[in-house]
Amino acid sequence: MSDLIQFFGDNAGLLFDKTLAHLGISGLAMAVALVLALPLGVVLGHLHRGSFLAINISNVFRALPSLALISISLALLGLSLINVEVALVALAIPPILTNAYTAVDGVDPDAVEAARGMGMTERQVLGGVELPLAWPLIFAGIRTASVYVVATAPLAAIAGGGGLGDIILNQPTYRLVGVIAATIVVVVLAFAVDALLGFAQRAVTPRGLHMPRELQTIVPAGTDTAVTVETAATAERT
Amino acid sequence: MSGALALAPAQAGPVIPDFGRGDECIRTNGNFCFNWFVDNFDERFLPRLGEHVKMTAIAIAIGFVIAFAAALLAHRHPRFELPFANLSSLFYTIPSIAFFQIMVPITGIGWTSIIIALVSYTLLILFRNILTGLREVPDEVKEAAEGMGLTRRQTLVRVELPLAVPAIMAGVRVATVTTISLATIAAFITPLGLGAPIFNAIQSGANTEFVAASLLAIALALLADAVIVLAQRAVSPWARARRRA
């Protein structure tokens, strides 16, 4: 235990640098995943169409082992940051896509109809009614994805990517105490990112929309699982 | 980076690995040499594939028993939900590559360490899904069961659990593909499972070994996913009947 405290003391600068690199790698992956998955999920949900597409894209990406993706791209592209980003983006897409689709698809049809009845355009319906109502669930997906990405980013070190994985994968140099210290930083980081996004989630949630209790742990029920989407698909087919 | 990783540099250097006598493809280290893969499948890949399936199956089985018991407890006594959810969330945020290493001084290099780490990762998803499945059973259904004179235990076994099957199976599905993915990383501590050829190839730089082991891991995950979907339909025929209606 005192070893651990000493490691933190002696290597504060190193840990800080690696943490920044870690956040950079994770942030880039999240940005790419958001650009790819969020619009797709939102648009499909708005059209109430393509649940099959949304489910299957998510399922396929979820089944791709991160290490396998890293090593295939290592073989094809050689050492670069792209190796690990590919794997992290693949990891982040399913919860974001699934939740965005489910959230927008599941907005109360009465509210949407009322908005159309008031003469709103499709764009206004989506931006003014569906998205605000869907935000809590969409955000839950983004939170889950962020936790996955932060916790998996140490694999970046395999592809020479930097971040806290450089310490975690190098037990010969940093000893077990270093591995444990870096692991603690990753865990704290994951919870901090989750908490921060939790605040953001509350900030963008319209007043009057109370947040379901289920949405408040790190991988909320229904996030990144096929349950809710399965139900949506059932509803679509009937 | 300063070559911080002990494993990676072999890949970076112009090392011509010793692949033994091979055809043109192997000598030039092609991305995927099919002949080499076929020749080496029985020796290099099949045993690892078997280990991979075994560690996944054991971890899911143990994880399911623990999560199921915890979910039943939390279903009856909601105050147990938060502690278990938080504990399993904590496990979930530990990077797997660190978890395996941390287990080594405690339970040694081998199956025990691997299984403990893998089980820890299954708990959160299985627990949440089982509990959600049980909770989403409509009140009317439970009242009807009660009205028919079923005891609490009978209601659970005959009404609530069958209705929770789709949610439970969805959890098993996600937990299984996640475990297959994480099991590749177990080879970081000891050469078991499909991660073994991957880590071996990271050191030797043998592209075919990389790609073959990775493709096998991906194929295994996709296959497991498909098998569970079929199993899910088989054990909850009413869901499909409803869908067809």
* Residue-wise pLDDT tens digits, A81-127: 888 898 999 999 999 998 899 889 888 888 888 998 998 988 898 88
- Residue A81 is encoded by which pair of tokens? 């940051």
Using a 10 angstrom Cβ sphere, with 0-12 exposed, 13-18 middle and 19 or more buried, the burial of residue B66 is middle
Contact B123, B172 (CB under 8 A): no
> How far is it, in rounded angstroms, from Cα A230 to Cα B7?
42
For A43-62, how does the pLDDT look when each residue is reduced to its tens digit (9 = 90+)?
999 998 887 788 788 888 88
Residue B188's pLDDT band (boundaries 50, 70, 90)? very high
Residues of A in contact with B194 (CB under 8 A): 68
pLDDT at A70: 87
The answer to whether the CB atoms of A220 and B1 lie below 8 A apart is: no
| Overall size of chain A counted in residues | 238
What DSSP letter does each residue of A139-199 carry, written as one string?
HHHHHHHHHHHHHHGGGGGGGT--STHHHHT-HHHHHHHHHHHHHHHHHHHHHHHHHHHHH
The answer to whether the CB atoms of A62 and B8 lie below 8 A apart is: no
Distances (CA, A) of B164 to B18, B80, B129: 54, 20, 9
> How far is it, in rounded angstroms, from Cα B169 to Cα B60?
12
B48 alpha carbon, distance to own chain's centre: 15
Q: For B63-67, what is the mean pLDDT?
A: 97
> How far is it, in rounded angstroms, from Cα A227 to Cα A211?
19
Number of other CB atoms surrounding residue A161 within 10 Å = 28
pLDDT at A59: 83
For A212-234, how does the pLDDT look when each residue is reduced to its tens digit (9 = 90+)?
555 555 666 555 554 444 443 44
B28: CB partners within 8 A, 6+ apart = none
- Residue B25 is encoded by which pair of tokens? 């493809």
- Residue B49 is encoded by which pair of tokens? 């594939």
- A76 CA to chain B: closest CA distance, Å? 7
Burial call A138-150: b when 16+ CB within 10 Å, e when fewer: bbbbbbbbbbbbb
Q: Taking CA atoms, what residue in A is nearest to B124?
A: A219
Contact B108, B188 (CB under 8 A): no
pLDDT at B9: 41
Q: Taking CA atoms, what residue in B is nearest to A68?
A: B214
pLDDT at B176: 94
B62 phi and psi angles, rounded to 5 deg: -65, -45
Closest residue by Cα to residue B201 from A193, A71, A117, A223: A71
> How far is it, in rounded angstroms, from Cα A235 to Cα A144?
25
A50 Ramachandran zone, left/alpha/beta (phi>0; psi -120 to 50)? left
pLDDT at A152: 92
pLDDT at A112: 87
> A184 CB near a chain B CB, below 8 Å?
no
Contact A222, A214 (CB under 8 A): yes
Closest residue by Cα to residue B182 from A33, A18, A210, A152: A152
The answer to whether the CB atoms of B218 and A64 lie below 8 A apart is: yes
Query: What ipTM describes this predicted complex?
Result: 0.83
Helix residue ranges, H only, B28-160: 34-40, 46-76, 81-93, 96-107, 111-135, 139-147, 152-154
> A166 CB near a chain B CB, below 8 Å?
yes
- Residue B92 is encoded by which pair of tokens? 């979930």
Residue B12 has pLDDT above 70, yes or no: no
Q: For A192-203, what is the mean pLDDT?
A: 87
Does the pTM of the predicted model rise above 0.90? Answer: no
Contacting A residues, span 88-147, partner chain B, CB-CB under 8 Å: 147
> How far is it, in rounded angstroms, from Cα A165 to Cα B118?
19
Q: For B211-233, what is the mean pLDDT?
A: 90
- B34 CA to chain A: closest CA distance, Å? 15
The answer to whether the CB atoms of B170 and A150 lie below 8 A apart is: no
Say which range, A174-183, A190-199, B11-20, has the weakest mean pLDDT: B11-20
Residues of B in contact with A220 (CB under 8 A): 128
